Amino acid sequence: MNSTRKGFLIRAAAVAGAGLVRRVLATLTGGSTAAYAAVPTARPAPHSMTHGPFVGHVTSTTAMVWARCSAPGPYGLTARGIGGRDEVAATAEATPETDMCVVWRLTGLRAGSTHRYEVTHEGQRIVGDEDTFFTTPSAQDAPSVTRLAIGSCAREDAGSARVWRRMAAVEPHAVVLLGDTPYIDSTVLEIQRTRYGEFAAVPEFADLLRNRPLYATWDDHDFGANDTDGRLDGKEDARRAFIEYHANPSYGEGDEGVYTKFRRGGIEVFLLDTRYFAGTEASPAAAEEPTLLGRRQWEWLRRELRASTAPFKLLASGMIWNAAVRPGKPDHWGSYPHERDALIRFIGEQDISGVVLAGGDVHRTRVLRYETTDIAGYPITEFITSPIHAGVIDTANAPHPALVHDSGEPNCFLLLTVDTTVAPPTLTAQFQNAAGRELYSLTLNAEELGAQ
C-alpha cells in the first residue's frame, strides 16, 4: 500500500474514533487489533482526570507533575511536606489545544523530603491519597544510592503490566523509557494522542509513576514509523504529542527534537534524540556524511558532557550503538560511525570520565564492552535493554567482537544502581525479567572509567 493511501486511511480513522484508529493501525503494521487495544476505563466524572497524575522531573528543590484532565479550566496542585510543613502550590490550565494535558511546576521545595500532593478543580479535591507523593533528592553531590529502572518497547498487555509491577517492587528513584513506549506508527496528531492516552491508562503503569519521576525519549515507533529517520513527514505533530504527554526537564532546544538530561545523585543521564534530526543535514563530525544527532544536539551534548561533574554519565538513546542487528535493519549508530567515533574521540580528548552507553529497540538484552582505551582512555560499556513486552527477535542475536552477554528474554528491564557512599563510586547494571529473575549483572567503578 502506498504512503498516500496509508495517510488517507489513518486520517479517516482518526476522525471516526479511537476504535477504528486501532483497527487501521493493526492492519497497516501487520499486528493484531489486541496489540492496540485500549485499556477499559470508566467515563471520567465532570471534574476529574482521565489520566495520571504522573510525577515528572524532580530536583532537590523543584518538581513537575503531569496529568490529563476531563474538562478545560484551571487545576491546582498543592504539595505538603510530611508533617504538614513546606506547603507549595501551582496552577495549570487544561485546554483543548494541549489535549487537556497539564504540567504543574513546583519550586521552593525542601531537599531530601517527601511531599504529598493533591489536585483541586473549582474548589473540589479530585486527586489526593497516600499514594500521591514525590520525594526530592538531597544535594546532587551528597553521598547517595540511586536506582534507575530503564526499559524500552512496551505494549498495553499483561506481560508489560508485570514489568511495571516489578519495577515498582524494586523501588527505583526514577523510571527511564528509551522509546517504543508506546507503539504509534503514525504522525497524525489525533492518533498520536490516542495512543499516548491508551498507554497512560494502563493501571500498573499509572501506579508506578504516581510517586516517582518518569523520564523518556522516543524511538522509531513512537516517533512515527518503523526504522525511520528525520525525513518523516509530520514529525512536528509527533513532537507536539510527545511534549503534551510528558513532563521532561526540556525538549531539545527551540522547536526541534526532544533530547534532554537530568542528574540524580552520582549519575547524569543524557537522553538523546536519534530520530528527529537523522539524515536531515550534513554531519558536524564529517561534512560528507549524513548526521544522526544534528548540529544543534551535537553541540549541546559536547557542551553538557564537558560541564558534567557526575561520577557516571549515561548516554542513552532508543537506537543501539553498534551494527549487530537483525538482517536489513538500517537504524542504529553503526550506520553513522563517523558521529559515534568522533564522540568517543571527544570523550578522550576532553578527559571525560565515567561514560557508559544505553540503547533499546532490538528486542534483546545485550552487553558490549568496547576496546576504546586508546581513544577514550578506558573501555566503554553499552547496555541494551529490550523488550518490556514479549516480542523477542531471534535474528537480532548478531555476533559482535565486543559482545559479553546476549539473551532473548521477554518482559525485561535494566535496574541501574549508582552508589557514591563507597570509594570509588560504583555503577551496577542488573537485568531482570518480570518475575525478578536476574538475567545478567555487571559492576563498574569510577576508577575503571577514567576517574582520577
DSSP string, 299-332: HHHHHHHHH---SEEEEE-SS-SSS--STT---S
Q: Are strands 355-359 and 312-316 parallel, antiparallel or unpaired?
A: parallel
Please identify, among 111, 135, 159, the residue that sits at the C-terminal boundary of a domain.
135
DSSP 38: P
* Residue 268 pLDDT: 98
Considering the chain, what percentage of its residues have pLDDT values greater than 90? 87
Nearest Cα neighbor of 174 from 65, 55, 311, 312 is: 55
| CA distance to 84, 132, 155, 408, 426, per residue, from 204 (Å) | 29, 15, 12, 24, 31
Radius of gyration of the chain (CA): 21
What mean pLDDT is predicted for residues 95-122? 96
User: What b/e readout covers 411-441, taking b as 16+ CB neighbours within 10 angstroms?
Assistant: bbbbbbbbbbeeeebbbebbbbbbeeeebbe
Which residues touch 36 (CB under 8 Å, ≥6 apart)?
A: 21, 22, 25, 26, 156, 183, 195, 198
Q: Does 450 reside within a domain? A: no
Q: Which residue has the higher pLDDT, 71 or 24?
A: 71
Residues 78, 29, single domain; the answer is no
Q: Does 345 reside within a domain? A: yes
Residues 306, 183, single domain; the answer is yes
Please identify, among 135, 160, 189, the residue that sits at the C-terminal boundary of a domain.
135
pLDDT band at 124 (very low <50, low <70, confident <90, very high): very high
Cis peptide before 290 (omega within 30 of 0): no
Nearest Cα neighbor of 56 from 220, 250, 267, 259 is: 250
Residue type, 392: V
Structural domain that includes position 11? 3-36
Q: Does 41 reside within a domain? A: no
Q: Can you name the residues that pair with 389 across neighbouring β-strands?
A: none
- For residues 357 and 343, the answer to whether their CB atoms sit within 8 Å is no
Give the tens place of pLDDT for each residue, 249-301: 999 998 999 999 999 999 999 999 999 999 999 999 999 999 999 999 999 99
- For residues 332 and 320, the answer to whether their CB atoms sit within 8 Å is yes
What mean pLDDT is predicted for residues 221-233? 97
Helices of type H across 111-265: 158-169, 189-200, 203-209, 220-223, 235-244
DSSP 377: S
Domain count, the chain: 3
Give the least confident one: 38-47, 191-200, 202-211, 436-445: 38-47
Residues 320, 377, single domain; the answer is yes
What mean pLDDT is predicted for residues 420-445? 98
Residues 28, 61, single domain; the answer is no
Q: Does 436 reside within a domain? A: yes
Give the tens place of pLDDT for each residue, 343-367: 999 999 999 999 999 999 999 999 9
In this structure, how many other beta carbons lie within 10 angstroms of the beta carbon of residue 129?
10
* Residue 171 pLDDT: 98
Please identify, among 101, 135, 169, the residue that sits at the C-terminal boundary of a domain.
135
Residues 183, 307, single domain; the answer is yes
Q: Does 96 reside within a domain? A: yes
Q: Which long-range contacts (CB under 8 A, 24 or more apart) does 165-172 make?
A: 165/204, 165/207, 165/208, 165/434, 166/413, 166/432, 166/433, 166/434, 166/435, 166/436, 167/208, 167/413, 168/204, 168/207, 168/208, 169/436, 170/415, 170/432, 171/147, 172/147, 172/148, 172/212, 172/415
Question: What is the three-class DSSP state of 1?
Answer: coil
Report whether pLDDT(21) > 50. no
Considering the chain, what percentage of its residues have pLDDT values greater than 70? 89
Residues 333, 238, single domain; the answer is yes
Chain centre to alpha carbon of residue 382: 17
Q: Which residue has the higher pLDDT, 25 or 325?
A: 325
* Residue 65 pLDDT: 98
C-alpha cell of 385? 535493554
Residues 239, 317, single domain; the answer is yes
pLDDT band at 86 (very low <50, low <70, confident <90, very high): confident
Question: Measured between alpha carbons, how far is 426 from 416 in angstroms, rounded to an integer?
Answer: 10
Which CATH number does the domain housing residue 106 bear?
A: 2.60.40.10
Residues 189, 298, single domain; the answer is yes
pLDDT band at 30 (very low <50, low <70, confident <90, very high): very low
Q: Are strands 403-407 and 260-264 parallel, antiparallel or unpaired?
A: unpaired
Report whether pLDDT(439) > 80. yes
* Residue 101 pLDDT: 98
CA atoms lying within 13 Å on the CB side of residue 270: 23
* Residue 28 pLDDT: 46
Residues 311, 386, single domain; the answer is yes
Q: Does 451 reside within a domain? A: no
Element (H, E) at 24: helix 18-29
* Residue 32 pLDDT: 43
What mean pLDDT is predicted for residues 202-229? 98
DSSP 94: E
Q: Look up cell 513546606; give the residue.
A: 86
Residues 87, 198, single domain; the answer is no
In this structure, how many other beta carbons lie within 10 angstroms of the beta carbon of residue 193?
23
Report whether pLDDT(241) > 90. yes
* Residue 349 pLDDT: 97
Backbone φ, ψ for residue 331 (5° rounding): -100, 95
Residues 326, 204, single domain; the answer is yes
Question: Measured between alpha carbons, how far is 360 from 333 in angstroms, rounded to an integer?
Answer: 12
Q: Does 43 reside within a domain? A: no
Give the tens place of pLDDT for each residue, 388-405: 999 999 999 999 999 999
Its pTM stands at 0.91
- For residues 245 and 196, the answer to whether their CB atoms sit within 8 Å is yes
Q: Does 284 reside within a domain? A: yes
Nearest Cα neighbor of 234 from 183, 180, 192 is: 192
Residues 383, 256, single domain; the answer is yes
Which CATH number does the domain housing residue 273 bear?
A: 3.60.21.70
Chain centre to alpha carbon of residue 102: 19
